[in-house]
Amino acid sequence: MRYLNLAAAALLGMTAMSALAQTPPGMNPATGARPGHEPGVGDSLPLSKCAKIIRADSARSGGASTPGEGTTANDYLRAARASLVSGLTCEAQQSLDMAETRALDRSVVQGQQHVPDDGQLVSRIRDVRHAVDAGDNAHAIQLVDLALSS
């Protein structure tokens, strides 16, 4: 019986150690806080009211597009527009996230990878995001149309 207890304690200890080993570097393992962030003080990311999970049913319902090879920023903008027209702001935000990611795909000079992209499409997607966050879906749709026309 004693060997069984020792084996259980050893297994439990190994499990706890592997869980601690999976904590991202710099993160406080006790609180899960990012470096420099004190839990309960100030803003904590993400600020969205929506969960950032792409469900299979949202892709089929005309909401967020499913990521795939050859999917462009404009494809995701069209999906965001369709979601906004349908009043699905969370799905629109997910599509905007993916549109921005596609728009940020670029080649840069070595050492310049941390310089923000201030291109027109990225700027317009940012404007759409602000309109969606403000609850102004009509203006967001106009901004998506503007981004798609350029």
From first to last of its 150 residues, what are the pLDDT tens digits of the chain? 666 666 666 666 666 555 555 555 666 666 666 666 666 666 555 555 665 544 444 444 444 445 566 788 999 999 999 999 999 999 999 999 999 988 887 677 788 777 767 788 989 999 999 999 999 999 999 999 999 997
Torsion sign across C-alpha atoms 40, 42, 45, 51: positive
pTM of the shown model = 0.56
Q: How far apart are CA 146 and CA 150, in angstroms?
A: 7
Q: How many helices (DSSP H) and strands (DSSP E) are in the chain?
A: 6, 0
**Residues 102, 117: contact at Cβ < 8 Å?**
no
**Residues 51, 90: contact at Cβ < 8 Å?**
yes
